[in-house]
Structure formats: structure tokens, C-alpha cells
Amino acid sequence: MLKDEWIKGNLVDVVNRRIYAAEILISNGRIAAINEVNANFSTYLIPGFIDAHIHIESSMLTPREFARTAVKHGTVAIISDPHEIANVLGIEGVEYMLDNAQTVPFHFFFGAPSCVPATAFETAGAVIDSNGVKQLLEKKEIVYLAEMMNFPGVISGQEHVLQKIKHAQAIGKPIDGHAPGLRGQAMRTYFDAGISTDHECFLYIEALEKLQHGVKIMIREGSAAKNFEELIPLLTQFPDQIMFCCDDKHPDNLLQGHINEHVKRAVQLGYPLMDVLRAASYNVIKHYHLPVGLLQLNDSADFIEVTNLRTFDILQTVIKGETVAKKGISFIPHQSSPLPNRFNCTLKVPSNFQLKRQSSQIRVIEVRDGQLITNALLTEETNDGQFSVSNTETDVLKLAVVNRYHDAPIAIGFIKNIGLKQGAIASCVAHDCHNIVVVGVSDEEICNAVNAIIRAKGGLSLACGTNELLVQALPIAGIMSPQPIEEVAAKYLQLDKRAKELGCPLKAPYMSLSFMALLVIPHLKLSDKGLFDGQTFSFTEVFV
């Protein structure tokens, strides 16, 4: 936009819950005047959308590249937890995200990662202790303490965990929660420690209990975890406590939409317009005390112009008075980025993935499509006479996690519902420590997929037979690409399509795979150190 410019439209005032024709003066990036007029305008001006909780790294893009695409969907700000890159590079990784974010006209609000490493039961590339958390919280760019995943540590009163919460409270910055399935007294103890949000609810009754306790609930709809349908009815009763988030968004999905999809879906389901728009802007701004505009006098000029209030087709996105996207075209150019990394393991051989048979029954991770939570099964083991192997008939396949930071014994387990009839898929976008997670039919294919990632120093891969090998390199911390989203998404879609051709029925095979090492989500997961029971928060055995 020009330095001083008038813009006209039907102003959707979510603060005062009214819509009226208005002329707005934009001057020096702020709203200098709002004049209510007697006119008929065909378009609507609404506050820009905000993602209340997301990990940029899961898009496999840099912050700048994420913003370049998100603005096309009306997003003007995100609350970003740099937890993923922090588990690889520590504070250096967080500072990389802050520096990259400063190169783009977009509102980035980062948190201080509270759990690096996420647990003591896996190998990460770095540690951020309570002093490190305090150091980050003192930065003006850090606006909150990011999701406190160690809910057992909070409930049991572990001093090093509570100290991080105390640092945030002393500075007056909010604290995000992470308490999947937590209810009753344990839930109350956890949130009473000073934690105020949760984005991990997957059941209506669970979210209801937390809302009644005063917790603010983020309704998540990402590439893997999809909780919108289950939780959106709560907006009616608790409109001031609901926010929208994606948590994780793969590049192909980000090209299609962002928080605008939450908004459009909720309005078309019949939920009140103002409540929906507040969940996508106002509630987030007020909770985190953000300097993002709400179309009020003297606000930062952050808004979007849409064709109507049902499909929300976006005509333009304005941030700090600057038009950053118009009719599906982003005005933010792609820009190259440094490639910090930490990837030190060596190439493997197929025998590294053998698991000697010990009994006739095994514990198996059962994937639930669209959910981070898994089931724990007991089933009959399949073997070749000496070693336990994958069984495509029963769809129980070998799963492995390889330490990427140094050479170590490989953890082996089994998983159901991946569905591959041949081949293997692997990724070191593996929450939270980003070791290499792989699932496959044969040890040779598993090994080939893993070695492709090791050679690339990070990425996604697919191996089938002796000749087919697809790789998407992610050389930034082993989890992000320096390439434009169009190239990243095209390669990702190629991998996704081929995985499905080989039999995988999941909507997002690689995103689902990335959570199989996420120990803080029940019930059964696999870290680089072994099979882990998320209910008892302890290791368990593969063989029963």
C-alpha cells in the first residue's frame, strides 16, 4: 500500500460484534481513521487470521517461505513453537528461526521450547535447561513458554520442570500446555501449575472438562491430527476460550489452505460468524497480548479483504499497511537461507535391522489415521526361523528408529495399519528428536531408505526393490528445505503418491510416520532407545 491510502468496504468489527460500511485510512502501517459511511460495498474487511499453535518445521519450510504461502490464505500471524529445530540444534536453532523470520513482513511470535529433549527416553541433538529457557524468555521476540509436554513432571512436582514455568510467570508470559487425554485430578494439578492452554484434546468430553476448569482449548486441524469435527461444538458454549490451530502442516496442505479452512468450515456449519472470527484472531491476540491489529483505530493495519462471509475468498492480505498478497499471488519473494545441521551417524547395512526372535507374541503399535494417539496391540510374531520379520498379510511391519546424532544400536519394533505390500518409507522429520524413523517390508529396503536420508543429511525417502529410490533432501537441521514451497510440495506429493501405490492407506503416510517416535502421546511409540509405553511413561519389551 501507499504511505497514506483509504480503503473501503464492509468492516467486520469483531471487538464490538458489528458490521458496517466504512472508509479506513492507512498511514505509516497503522489505522489512522475509520469513518462509518452510508454506502453499499461488495467486499468485507476482516481481521487477518492467526494460527494459535504451529511448528513451522513440520511444513519442511523456512519461516520466510512459510509466510510467503500463508499470506495467500489470509494468515497474518502465527504462534510458533520452534521445538523441532531446538531438539536438533538447541538455542542456536531457535535463533536461526528468529533471524529468518525478521526477513519477511509477517507477524511471527515464537515460544521458548520447554522440553528439549522432549523426554529422557530418547536421544536429541541438544539440551535447553531451565537457564536456557530463562535466556530465551528474556528475548522480546519470545512471547510465551511453549507447550509443556512433560505433564508427568509437572504433576509430580519435579523442580527442574517447575522452574521453567516459574521463569515464564516471573516475566509475565503465558504458558502453553500439552496434555493429551489428561482428566480428573491429574488434569487439575497440571493446569493449576500455571498452564493455560491445550491443543492436544481429541475427545469432546476431555476438552469440555478442561474448558470448565478455565483452560483455553485450541481446535486443531493439521495434516495428521484432525480434531475439528469432534471439538467444534464447544465453540457455542465457550466462545471466549476457543482458538484455532494447525500444529503441523505439510507443504502440500499449506498450498491448499490454512486457518481460513477452519473459518470457512465453521461458518458453513452454522456457528456464529463473530465467534468463529474471534477464534481465528481476537482470542489469540488477547491471550498472548499480541501487537496485531483488529481493525480498530490506531491498530497495526493487519487485515484481509474477502468477497463474502461464507466462502471467504481472499482478495488481498495486508500486514502493517503493506499488501503482501492479492488474489492468490504472494508478493513475498523466495530467498535462500543458511543450512545449519547436526547429522553424524554413518551408513547402515541390512543386518543392522535384524531382530532375533524371542517369543511368539509381540507388542505392536497400531496407527490411527488422523490421530497422534496410537493403540497398543498384542499379536502373533512372524519369523524366518531365526529373526522376526514383517508380515504383509497381517499388515504387521517392521519399524525402526535410527539415532542420527551418533552411531548407536538401532531400536526395532512393529507397527500395524501402514499397509505397505512392498518397499520402505523413512523420515527424519520424526517428532520430537528427529532421529530417523523407517517402516518397511524387508531389511534391505529399510536399510536403503535409511541410507538415503543419511547421505542427504536429512529428509524423506522411499525405497522399493533394488533399484527404486526417491529422496527429498532437507539439509536445514535435517528437517527443512531451502527450496520454494512449490518444489518441496511437488517432491513430497511424489513420495506420498508412491507410498500409497505401494499399499499405504493413510491420508498422510509421512506425517503419520513422523509421530511414531513421539513418546509424549500415548499409547505405544518407539524411540531410538526402545519401545515406549506412553501410559506408564516407561520402556516396555517388544516380545511378550
For range 195-218, the mean pLDDT: 97
- pLDDT > 70 fraction of the chain, expressed in percent and rounded: 99
Mean pLDDT of 87-104: 97
Single-letter amino acid code for the residue at 46: I
Helix, strand or coil, per DSSP, at residue 461:
strand
For 333-338, the CB contacts below 8 A with 24+ separation are: 333/68, 334/64, 334/65, 334/68, 334/484, 335/64, 335/103, 336/482, 337/62, 337/64, 337/100, 337/476, 337/482, 338/96, 338/476
pLDDT at 3: 66
Q: 240-257: per-residue pLDDT in tens? A: 999 999 999 999 999 999
pLDDT of the residue at 224: 76
- Amino acid in the structure at residue 20: Y
Which percentage of the chain shows pLDDT scores above 90?
A: 94
Mean pLDDT of 443-456: 98
SS3 417: coil
> Strands across the sheet with 4-13, in order?
30-36, 18-27, 4-13, 44-47, 303-306, 314-319, 322-326, 329-330
Question: In this structure, are residues 37 and 22 in contact, taking their beta carbons and an 8 Å threshold?
Answer: yes
Res. 225: pLDDT tops 90: no
**3-state helix/strand/coil string of 79-148:** EECCHHHHHHHCHHHHHHHHHHHCCCCCEEEEEECCCECCCCCCCCCCCECHHHHHHHHCCCCEEEEEEE
Residue 74, Ramachandran bin (φ over 0: left; ψ between -120 and 50: alpha; else beta) = left
- pLDDT tens column, 29-60: 999 999 999 999 999 999 999 999 999 999 99
Alpha-carbon distance of 258 to 279, in angstroms, equals 14
Q: How far apart are CA 81 and CA 58, in angstroms?
A: 11
Q: What does the mean pLDDT of the chain come to?
A: 96
Q: What is the total residue count of the chain?
A: 544
Q: In the chain, count of helices (H) and strands (E)?
A: 17, 29
pLDDT digits (tens, 9 = 90+) for 273-283: 999 999 999 99
We find that the CATH architecture of domain 49-291 is Alpha-Beta Barrel (3.20)
- Cis ω on the peptide bond leading into residue 509 (within 30° of 0)? no
Q: How much is the average pLDDT of 395-410?
A: 98
Radius of gyration of the chain (CA): 23
pLDDT in tens, 492-507: 999 999 999 999 999 9
**pLDDT higher for 368 or 372?**
368
For residue range 142-181, list pLDDT tens digits in order.
999 999 999 999 999 999 999 999 999 999 999 999 999 9
Q: Where in the chain is the domain with CATH 3.20.20.140?
A: 49-291
Cα 262 from Cα 483, distance rounded (Å) = 28
Residue 1 pLDDT > 60, yes or no?
no
On the question of pLDDT at 115 being above 60, the answer is yes
The answer to whether 481 and 57 are in contact (CB under 8 A) is no
SS (H, E, C) 219-259: EEECCCCECHHHHCCHHHHCHHHEEEECECCCHHHHHHCCH
Instruction: State the pLDDT at residue 541.
Output: 96
Asked if 459 and 428 touch (Cβ cutoff 8 Å), the reply is yes
Grid cell at residue 464: 522399493
